[in-house]
Structure 1
Amino acid sequence: MNTVVHSGAEGFLHRFEGLRARLPGQRLAWVQALREAAAEQFRVAGFPTRRVEAWKYTDLRPVSDAAFDEALTILGDGDTLPAPRGERRAVFVDGRFREELSQIEGASFAIGSLAEELPRLEGRLGALARPAEESLVALNTMLFEDGLLVTVPTGVAGGVLELCSLASRSERPSAFHPRHLIRLESGASLTIVEEASGPEDTRYLHNPVFEIELAEGAVLTHARIQREGVKGFQLGTVYARIEAGATYDNFTLNAGARLVRNEIHAVLAGPKSACHMNGAQLLRAGQHADTTTVLDHAAPDCASRQTYKTVLQGKSRGVFQGKIHVHQVAQRTDGYQMNQALLLSPDAEIDSKPQLEIYADDVKCSHGATVGALDADQLFYLRARGIPEAKARSILVEAFLQEAIEGVTDETARAALESAVAGWWEKEAA
């Protein structure tokens, strides 16, 4: 008997039909309705193509043409967890919560598995995500099996929580779609250091979706370190709603994966709220990284800052698309956006598309983009003082990235990012 291999959108829809009865929440009518609607949306839209404006610079055919199996969730002897950076850690392997690898006891706030708490999440799960508009979010909604569930009560300082996501080693390509829900109540604070990694010899798809709710005066620092395996794909989407006086501080470091899309949708929903979305992309030959941000200023007296920097070597390609939408009610908006690229190879390519859409009168908004190479005079200065060329280049690359990293005020998060960046060029040139 011949085995039929289903690839692309058809393959994921086929998997949904086979897993429907086993997916978490199958006995909850509202979860079933959510999944069914998402499946229909994905069936109609499929994977986005470059004919879609938001995907003009990123070709998903390496993903859509592949056939992915269900992840087996096996942590092998060669798979290791990153060194701990705090007291609390939530570990996911192939998108599923692993309590025996996690450290969540004694926390001052609720940490757990989304799959186990689904009966109590009606009205919260799916409140921010828009699967009808984003095909990859529809795919996640259709097939999510687990995710991180965090609720920080009013006024509680949650400290640092690590979110470790690992892909297990497999001979066959696998895909997983974790759904993470984060809520900070009024005046609460939390730092999340998220790190995603996987084996170098395994092809897999990691398609996470975050829904983040920040109540009045809450502060969330969200440091994301993406170091997926060289054959891996990460297509992540973050939704954040920021109420009055609250702050969302996001930094994303893309340093792994064959193809990555980091998409952030943030809404400044209350007066005097703030959003900082900074990041860095470190790309070597064969890598493609796309950072796309959509920032809605939907209330007055709000501030936003975006600084994204990309370093490219070999035949790599980076993309930055940043849209700031200032609604008519959002008077006295202060918005800033900067995208800078450092090309270390004549074969590297960067595409930058900043956008401002302003409907208010009293605003202060600016954006800019620059592209350049290492400064020859600075390189000569370092070399003339006996510094080897690889080390000199590494110093200049780290200096280029430092402006973006300095925007992260949390010491633990900033140290994790600095450690991930340190010596990148020297390791790549070795």
Structure 2
Amino acid sequence: MTAHPIGAAGFLHRFDGLRARLPGARLPWIQALREQAADAFRVQGFPTRRVEAWKYTDLRQVADAGFDEALSAVDSAPALPPAHGGARVVFVDGRSRPDLSTVDGLPYAVESLAAALEAQEGRLGSLARPAEQPMAALNTMLFEDGLVVTVPAGVAGGVLDLVSLGSASERPEAFHPRHLIRLEAGASLTLIETATGPEDARYLHNPVFEIEVGFGATLTHARIQQEAPRAFQLATVYARVEKGGTYDNFTLNAGAKLVRNEIHTLLAGPAATCHMNGAQLLRDGQHADTTTVLDHAAPDCASRQTYKTVLMGKSRGVFQGRIHVHQVAQRTDGYQMNQALLLSPEAEIDSKPQLEIYADDVKCSHGATVGEIDADQLFYLRARGIPEARARAMLVEAFLTEAVEGVQDETARAALGAAVTGWWEAVA
């Protein structure tokens, strides 16, 4: 019997049973892509804490959960989160739901990956690295659907909601959507992604994004993770930004039992800009890991990263941020800050900022802070008649303001602010 690494056997067995029914089964290039990913996952399995990049996050509870294929009823009508714009694409258990989506009249193309797969040769898999990232390998092996967005040159795409819903079932389910986003020269789009599920649901949501931001284009990508309390989310984002382009990413982790957000951004052209900000809002028993890899591979590029973590009860937060400045990337301007606010003596935060610089003319800095609510500030508010609960809420909101206000798009900023406020009201 072949011995598989941790957690690999069940998913590899599922792949063997599903390969003839997965989208693109008759396309040789898709078959090759899936087989290569399966080979990589067969070798790697779920990463253990012996792998440096996963030192602080233990996936044994995910690997041991015994997930089934998602079998959501196509005629179910799950509750949807509030819409943020006129256009909305809905996925339930990783599968497109056109009956719940609203995309008519858009000046750009929005398609289901399962329906448009044949036309994605050369695009699908162009940025993802399954051989290096096990969760990308698992996704590539088993994806069934996803979102394909192409905004033509010069088009202002407005706001697009991407809603991912997990459903409740008797056994845990796993789904692996693959999303492809492309903005051509001078285009713009605000993508507000919301992931959620019913209170009693237990599932694994393992999405992969491949994002291309063209010459002078601007993508605002707001990610609101409010998964079910017993759910797992392991998300991987790959973004490539060309000359003069801007990728503005904000990731809010406020749900799920265990979550890992891995964001790889390549500044590939001169004067490209990247903002990767985020907040992790953790209750008792939650574990959230944000890992960023930012490659400055061209001159005159700028990047800003501000990540805030608020921890309650026995929760654990992780931030790992690496900035890699290539030798050609002269006049790089990079900034990274990670700050944590501990609201419980049992809470834990692990922070590992990294700079790897091979250019001479650069301006790069990074820092990390950990602390509690300032007793003097709390006393000041209490002395002015503000109840303690409200005073603590005000201080937490003030702590998070810097990260949220860094989002340039007003609609995305308002959506993130509402999610932060809703989380605090639920736990206060």
TM range (shorter): over 0.9
In structure 1, the partner of 2:30 is 31
Give the counterpart letter for 2:391 in structure 1.
Answer: A
* Shift in Å, 1:388: 1.7
* Shift in Å, 1:78: 8.3
Give the counterpart letter for 2:273 in structure 1.
Answer: A
Matches within 5 A, 1:31-430: 31-74=30-73, 79-429=78-428
Give the counterpart letter for 1:257 in structure 2.
Answer: A
SS in 2 for 1:146: coil
* Alignment TM-score, normalising by the size of structure 1: 0.97
Q: CA separation of 1:426/1:84 partners in 2, compared to 1, >3 Å: closer, same or farther?
A: closer
* Structure 1: 5+ residue stretches without partners: 1-6
Contact 2:254 2:423 in 1 (8 A): no
Give the counterpart letter for 1:183 in structure 2.
Answer: R
Give the counterpart letter for 1:301 in structure 2.
Answer: D
Q: Structure 2: how far apart are the matches of 1:51 and 1:37?
A: 24
* Shift in Å, 1:76: 8.5
* Shift in Å, 1:382: 1.5
SS in 1 for 2:236: strand
Give the counterpart letter for 2:340 in structure 1.
Answer: A
Q: How many residues align?
A: 423
> CA offsets per residue over residues 8-64 of structure 1, 9 Å max, x none?
211101110111111000010000000011011101111100000000000000101
* Shift in Å, 1:77: 7.0
Give the percent of matched residue pairs that are identical in Structure 1 and Structure 2: 77
RMSD: 1.1
Q: CA separation of 1:426/1:389 partners in 2, compared to 1, >3 Å: closer, same or farther?
A: farther
SS in 1 for 2:266: strand
Mean CA deviation greater in 386-395 or 147-156: 386-395
Q: Structure 1: how far apart are the matches of 2:379 and 2:406?
A: 29
Q: Structure 2: how far apart are the matches of 1:142 and 1:224?
A: 24
* Shift in Å, 1:385: 2.0
In structure 1, the partner of 2:3 is none
Give the counterpart letter for 1:80 in structure 2.
Answer: A
* Shift in Å, 1:390: 1.3
Contact 1:76 1:169 in 2 (8 A): no
Q: Structure 1: how far apart are the matches of 2:77 and 2:175?
A: 20
Q: CA separation of 1:384/1:166 partners in 2, compared to 1, >3 Å: closer, same or farther?
A: same
Q: Structure 2: how far apart are the matches of 1:112 and 1:399?
A: 40
* Structure 2: 5+ residue stretches without partners: 1-5
In structure 2, the partner of 1:4 is none
* Shift in Å, 1:338: 0.1
